[in-house]
A and B are shown apart, each in its own frame.
Chain A
């Protein structure tokens, strides 16, 4: 069955395309219930973007939550092992606090998770899926890459061990805030040479080859060397690909250091003012659940797509069929079906209603209006 995409909203089209894309790579759909125990999210609150969760008591008095996240549930329930991998995708609602409207909202999130043994090919496949997912929305996109090892290795290099100091320096890096980074680093007695290094890190160009060369020069310890090596191996696979132009390296994208190790990535579409795709490798989360497997995935926000890719409403497609008590109902039905078959969006109307929004009007009433179709 070929479904006509015309008339579908952007988020509907993207959902269908992504579903087909994910399934073509062997991913199966995961359906989850709307609720999890509240305590589950509290135990893993650093994995979530926000602590604000809609909670309620169920009939047995347990405190439950409307799910703010899907990855946690998939990770907790995964049946993958080092030998058998699990490839799941989802298209679910999540419930989060919207900062500016100061209320809870339902968001639609689509994404996938790979659990099992992740090697270079699996990493390449997931990144390729991320690129193709962005491409399904628009051809004008970028995928920013980074690696948690770059952050960890950098802190090792400049001898920062305190969690508070790391957090404060990280918030400057995440904000590309060079001036506050310099002040904060001076406060922590970081050497002039290392402060200059931190500033160079922030000023590093994000074009892939230049950035990789920069980090190769900085990689003076094992953590950094491993991270750079992981990035180089991945990017080499794209050398002959048209996607190479879409990839960037940007250390300012950072996920929670307790849950993410290895590669992380974020996708952006031109003229969309928010991050559309976010993902990474999160082995530590599975280890926390007592599972000795790797995990990597990403999620897309597709809610707001219809706002930024609006449907062009074609008034000519709308047709009104005006009827009254004198109209033969069978004739009315035939006319409506006939016009629908021609591709019109047909509304049957009775009484004195506004017909301005219709491109064409058919009268099946006793009194014929002049100049109208019959």
Chain B
């Protein structure tokens, strides 16, 4: 028996469908509120967790494998193996600002973001001094209310930004869902885990 942590939300559906197609999950319950489900025949237990928590469950070994966004991995830097780019949940981490924004280089740039480490690394690489305000949601509000100059956030279609009169002024990096594994679990389950990786690769012709 091994354990897989899957992210709730937009990735949950896609990953469950993929695993079902490959025979790793049978009979997904639609709209189920269950957080843990076990397929004893196949020998896998799944749990649905908050996307930003997947890496923690994997690091602690409660989940042997997990699916986590590259943004979460770069931000929290868990000590795990990153075995595969699932090429799902594709989006970008970008800097966005109010339309027509003009940066004042004479003072530190104030940035609202969930991604403190990614933001620091990016602006360090530009040698730009910044002041970070960490927010947990609705990041777009910050520059609209004049609390910050810009935001660093995930952009998918760009609709949310457009609707709030914000636009992308720089792309930091592309993001996608990754398959991660607990390092210690991998030492004893490498055959099963590698098989899962191969099955996904073959399906996606990666």
Q: Which residues of A are in contact with B by a Cβ distance under 8 Å?
A: 100, 140, 142, 144, 175-180, 206, 248, 252, 268-270, 272-275
Contact = CB atoms under 8 A, between A and B. Distances in A.
B177 to A, nearest CB: 12
14 contacts: A100-B59, A100-B60, A142-B187, A177-B82, A178-B84, A179-B84, A179-B85, A180-B85, A268-B183, A268-B187, A273-B59, A273-B60, A273-B61, A273-B184
A350 B59 CA distance: 47
Contacts of B188: 140, 142, 268, 270
Contacts of A175: 80-82
Interface residues of B, number: 20
B184 A274 contact: yes
Contacts of A142: 187-188
5 closest A-B pairs by beta carbon, nearest first, are A273-B61, A179-B85, A177-B82, A176-B81, A268-B187
B84 A272 contact: no
B62 interface: yes
A100 B55 CA distance: 11
B12 interface: no
B85 A100 contact: no
Interface string B182-206: 1111111010000000000000001
Contacts of B59: 100, 273
Interface string B65-88: 000000000000000111111000
Contacts of B187: 142, 144, 248, 268
A142 B188 CA distance: 8
A275 to B, nearest CB: 7
A180 B84 CA distance: 9
A153 B84 CA distance: 26
Would you call the interface of chain A mostly helix, strand, loop, or mixed? loop
Given A176-B83, A268-B188, 6 more contacts: A100-B60, A140-B188, A142-B188, A178-B83, A180-B85, A273-B184
Contacts of A248: 187
B64 to A, nearest CB: 9
Contacts of B61: 272-274
A275 B56 contact: no
A374 B85 CA distance: 70
Contacts of A273: 59-62, 182, 184-185
Nearest to A272: B184
Nearest to B58: A273
Nearest to A144: B187
A100 B56 contact: yes
A9 B59 CA distance: 25
B47 to A, nearest CB: 15
A328 to B, nearest CB: 54
Given A100-B56, A273-B61, A268 B184 contact: yes
